[in-house]
Amino acid sequence: MTPLPSGIRSRMIPGINGLEMHVLEAGYESAGRPALLLLHGFPELAYSWRKVMLPLAAAGFHAIAPDQRGYGRTTGWDPDYDGDVGSFRMLNLARDALGLVHALGYSSVAAVIGHDFGSPVSAWCALIRPDVFRSVVLMSAPFPGPPALPKGNEISPRKIHDDLAALARPRKHYQWYYSTREANQNMWHCPPGVHAFLRAYYHHKSADWKDNKPYPLESWSASELAKLPTYYIMDIAQGMAETVAPYLPSAAAIAACKWLPDSELKVYSDEYTRIGFQGGLNWYRCMTDPKYIAELQLFSGRTIDVPSAFIAGKSDWGIYQMPGAIERMQSSTCTQMRACELLEGAGHWVQQEQPERVTGHLLKFLSG
């Protein structure tokens, strides 16, 4: 691994809900600091927070970033496609976070801060245990609230997939693709290799790809979803490796990439080359499985009542991939939404692309 910035340490914490959890920490030198829990997304690692941890520590916080279940150096999870998928369901991921907080000796944290798939985990933490997670910052993925209880006249959830497949240019939704058996092998063993795959994937979803010009979609329909880039609504015959391969930047563009130099990308590619992608993909399998959605319907109508904020890149289609979610998050799901910031010069990887501005917004929120 590339040496961590001075002031960030790496260690293993055993006994976390069946896991031995790998965490990065900054601001650990003195006791009694308010804690911040930083939860990454896919395909990322605790390392994704490296640029904001030291400024947060300098402001007086103990910043804690784990490799979540299925990721990086954290062990104790089942890597088999036919194994214990249920352990990756949302409520168990929230339990992982709660277990880590208690293992580190805290009864509560000042904030739980989540990016990408870490955003819904953070939201569920704050919704279910507001006594422990005293505020929440969601990044890049708006949280529309718990799933509604079904109504008797609802259209079959399969219809959207049939409609996407029936388009003149047949398409499929990436989350359901990520739930398939072939997704892991497609990315892990693609001909260009994991490093080139991740470079193309990160580039394609960043502000560096100039065609990322997102806008709200009108509805959850095939014709509207088809306006999303192919990294979200894929061509039906392609895997994710083939989808992003044409967007691998040139050697000159890679050399000029300040927010993710090749030495830092290698931290990700080394870990994913070692363990594959199935751990992270299992999160999607739980999110697309009706049985695990039904479990979350128990909380239908519940709101997040601790102070909250949302931060994303202006060039991030993730804000709009679920039509109406960002509006619902602000109007009803989060009853104490203090800020909703969309940052110029950032796509999906907002805390890596614009770390200084993200840190500024986080500290402003936390000081309030």
Largest CA distance in the chain: 61
> pTM for the whole thing?
0.97
pLDDT at 368: 86
Q: How far apart are CA 97 and CA 26, in angstroms?
A: 17
pLDDT at 3: 76
| N residues, the chain | 368
Domains of the chain: 8-150+299-367 (3.40.50.1820), 159-281 (no CATH)
Please count the CA atoms within 13 angstroms of the CA of 160 that sit on its side-chain side: 17
Contact between 6 and 12 under an 8 Å Cβ cutoff? The reply is: no
pLDDT at 158: 72
pLDDT at 280: 98
pLDDT at 151: 83
pLDDT at 101: 98
Alpha-carbon torsion angle 242, 233, 137, 214, nearest 10: 100
What Å distances lie between residue 111 and 40, 93, 121, 307, 366, CA to CA? 14, 17, 13, 9, 8
pLDDT at 155: 56
Tokens of 261: 């130099």
Amino acid at 195: H
pLDDT at 2: 58
pLDDT at 153: 62
pLDDT digits (tens, 9 = 90+) for 260-269: 999 999 999 9
What Å distances lie between residue 279 and 19, 84, 163, CA to CA? 13, 11, 29
Please count the CA atoms within 13 angstroms of the CA of 11 that sit on its side-chain side: 10
Ranges of residues in the chain with a pLDDT under 70 are 1-2, 152-157
